[in-house]
Structure 1
Amino acid sequence: MQYVTPVVIGVLYALLNSVLREPHRRHFNALMIAGAGAVYIGGGGLGGWEFAFTALLTYVAYRGLESWTFIGIGWLLHTAWDVVHHLKGSPIIPFGHDSSLGCAICDPVIALWCLRGGPSLRDLVRGGRPAAAPDRTAA
């Protein structure tokens, strides 16, 4: 369950996002990746690197306001940061020893959905074509 639950959470995240219409869905996800960039800053255990990573993901999130590709890249960067914290830093949830590992499993699921353009999964389940707005900028 330690490895399955994070995948289910990632799929649920994408499904719940399907209720948002474009461009609000992309803008919401840009804000989410900005927040994810700062999640370790209060006690991640990596000192000044926490600020550098937050600055990097803030830039990626800003670019993500116009580009699903940047949002997907942001989730992949956060995946790598989760792995670093699982191995060397403090967990994302202080009382959850393997919480950073769970996040590192969940984030690529979200990233793949974002790199596909953040399509409405409701449309995919119905067998129709995904209705995602195209990126406005090239990656």
Structure 2
Amino acid sequence: MIYVTAPLIGVVYAVLMSLIREPHRRRFNAVMVAGAGAAYLSGGGFGLWELPVTALTAYLAYRGLESWRFIGLAWFVHTVWDLVHHLKGNPILPFDHSSSLGCAICDPVIALWCLGGGPSLIDPLRRRFTRQATVPSPPAPEALDRSRQ
């Protein structure tokens, strides 16, 4: 079940983030990945190794304030750290042993969306429904021919 729900959570994340307009969407995602990078600090199980990974993620998130690529890279760093924690048996949520695995499945979906420039997934729908509601469809060619006769 985790193999289905985790990627869906990544898609839902991208859809919800699409509600935020640019450039705020990019900056908000930089803050989000910085927070995700610090998630294991309160007992991640790797001692001092938690600090350089958090620092790397924070640096990438900082660079992500101006670049979607860095945000995507930061999500991939977090994905690797999720896998390491899952394999060690020290999950992000101590009461859910599969939580780091779920995170490692979800995060690449978010990373790929970010590497694609974090496009709005709802703007195309918004434009389509707005266009249909405000622009009348052109008359059929047969109707034009009849009106000319």
* TM-score of the superposed pair, with normalisation by structure 1: 0.88
Alignment of 1:58-137 (within 5 A): 58-125=58-125
Cα shift readout 1:1-60 (whole Å, capped 9, x = no counterpart): 111100110000000001100000000000001001100000110000101111111100
Give the direction of change, closer, same or farther, for the CA distance of 1:53–1:89 in structure 2 (3 Å limit): farther
Gaps in structure 1 of 5+ consecutive residues: 129-139
Give the direction of change, closer, same or farther, for the CA distance of 1:63–1:89 in structure 2 (3 Å limit): farther
- Superposed CA RMSD in Å reads 1.4
Structure 1: which amino acid aligns with 2:87? L
Percent identity for Structure 1 against Structure 2: 69
Are 1:68 and 1:115, in contact at CA under 8 Å, matched by a contact in 2?
yes
More helix by share: 2
Are 1:45 and 1:89, in contact at CA under 8 Å, matched by a contact in 2?
no
Larger Rg: 2
Give the distance between the partners of 2:53 and 2:6, measured in 1 at CA. 23
Are 1:46 and 1:89, in contact at CA under 8 Å, matched by a contact in 2?
no
Report how many aligned residue pairs link the two structures: 128
Give the direction of change, closer, same or farther, for the CA distance of 1:124–1:76 in structure 2 (3 Å limit): farther
Are 2:75 and 2:110, in contact at CA under 8 Å, matched by a contact in 1?
yes
Cα shift readout 1:81-127 (whole Å, capped 9, x = no counterpart): 00000001510111000100000000000001000000000134568
Structure 1: which amino acid aligns with 2:47? G
- Report the counterpart of residue 6 of structure 2 in structure 1: 6
- Report the counterpart of residue 131 of structure 1 in structure 2: none
Q: Secondary structure at the match of 2:42?
A: coil
Give the direction of change, closer, same or farther, for the CA distance of 1:91–1:68 in structure 2 (3 Å limit): same
Gaps in structure 2 of 5+ consecutive residues: 129-149
Give the distance between the partners of 1:47 and 1:89, measured in 2 at CA. 14
Q: Which runs of 4+ in 1 moved over 3 A?
A: 124-128
* TM-score of the superposed pair, with normalisation by structure 2: 0.82
Give the distance between the partners of 2:122 and 2:100, measured in 1 at CA. 29
Are 2:89 and 2:97, in contact at CA under 8 Å, matched by a contact in 1?
no
